Amino acid sequence: MDLGLSGKVAFITGAGGGIGRETARLFAEEGMAVAAADVRLEGAEETAGVVRRLGGPALAVAVDVTSEASVAEATGAAERALGRLDVLVNCAGIYRIGGLDAVTPAAWDELLDINLKGTFLVCRAALPGMIARRQGSIVNLASISGRTRSTLASPSYVASKAGVIGLTMSLAVQCAPHGVRVNAVAPGPVDTDMIRGLEPSLQEHLITTIPLGRLATAREVAQAVAYLASDAAAFVTGETLNLNGGAFMV
């Protein structure tokens, strides 16, 4: 299937992380240019290196998605270096487990600021250019936790991901008349540092909830992101694509 992504420019937040890096790798294989953005610049640089080794133009840029000024600086630098932004993938995020007792107001703010407000701020910075050119596609990282009963994730994480799904639908409606699509993916547990950081017994418990009997790979999530970003999904907007090995079905 020709995804029609060749020659397009992507801005990926959380690009130093597992899903962000695999998305950058797949985009480079498809012939795209990639701005790899992360609060950990060294992680973004490593990802930009992956893209360059595959022959793609790449830029590594530091960004704190919770800061409007930092987001403006990073997206502006990417537009100047790579010409424009055609695709935005919001991967920056943090994960917390536990019940209400573990969520102090400060911990709530920290998580919601990164996972939800950060997604909003980067969409807000990227959209004017996309709307002006009547061309663009945004893919947000939601989670199975934002769609159904969650056993491990903290209430703050669950709320942030449900918020990302709502934000995706709202922006999709507002952007559709301008030729810009906004979608999300909702992965179940994925084999990245986010899950590898859990105790082995919790990882094993998660796997027992998945009919396919294993974690998703970051590559599998990247393939879903690439589909939604591409012309193959030209009539898909406001959608949240489940990707969970059968753990949750509607």
Ligand X SMILES: NC(=O)c1ccc[n+]([C@@H]2O[C@H](COP(=O)([O-])OP(=O)(O)OC[C@H]3O[C@@H](n4cnc5c(N)ncnc54)[C@H](O)[C@@H]3O)[C@@H](O)[C@H]2O)c1
- Report the residue from 32, 39, 126, 171 that binds ligand X according to the rule CB under 6 A: 39
Among 162, 194, 202, 232, binds ligand X (CB under 6 A): 194
Assess 247 for contact with ligand X (CB under 6 A). Answer: no
Q: Does 40 bind ligand X (CB under 6 A)?
A: yes
**Of residues 131 and 206, the one with the C-beta less far from ligand X:** 206
- Please report whether residue 192 would count as binding ligand X according to CB under 6 A: yes
Tell me the three state secondary structure of residue 221.
Answer: helix
Contact status, residue 24 vs residue 36, Cβ threshold 8 Å: yes
> By CB under 6 A, how many residues form the interface with ligand X?
31
43 binds ligand X (CB under 6 A): yes
Q: How far is CA 223 from the centre of its chain?
A: 12
Beta strands in the chain (DSSP E): 9-13, 33-38, 58-62, 87-90, 136-141, 180-187, 240-243
Compute the least distance from the CB of residue 171 to ligand X, in Å: 17
Residue 188, C-beta contacts closer than 8 angstroms, at least 6 positions apart:
144, 206, 209, 210, 215, 216, 243, 244, 245, 247, 248
**1, burial (CB in 10 Å: exposed 0-12, middle 13-18, buried 19+):** exposed
3-state secondary structure of 109: helix
State which of residues 78, 195, 225, 229 lies at the interface with ligand X (CB under 6 A).
Answer: 195
Which residue in the list 90, 93, 157, 237 is annotated as catalytic? 157
Q: Which DSSP symbol is given to 47? A: H
Q: What are the backbone dihedrals phi and psi of residue 175, each rounded to the nearest 5 degrees, phi first?
A: -90, -20
Site for ligand X in 126-165 (CB under 6 A): 141, 143
Region of 27-35, 60-68, 78-86, 230-238 interacting with ligand X (CB under 6 A): 60-68
- Which residues make beta-bridge pairs with 139? 89, 183
Q: Which of 25, 45, 56, 64 binds ligand X (CB under 6 A)?
A: 64
Q: Specify the residue, 193 or 231, whose C-beta has the smaller distance to ligand X.
A: 193
How far apart are CB 135 and ligand X at their closest, in Å? Answer: 25
Under the criterion CB under 6 A, does residue 109 sit at the interface with ligand X?
no
List of residues contacting ligand X (CB under 6 A)? 13-14, 16-20, 38-40, 43, 63-66, 91-95, 114, 118, 141, 143, 187, 189-190, 192-195
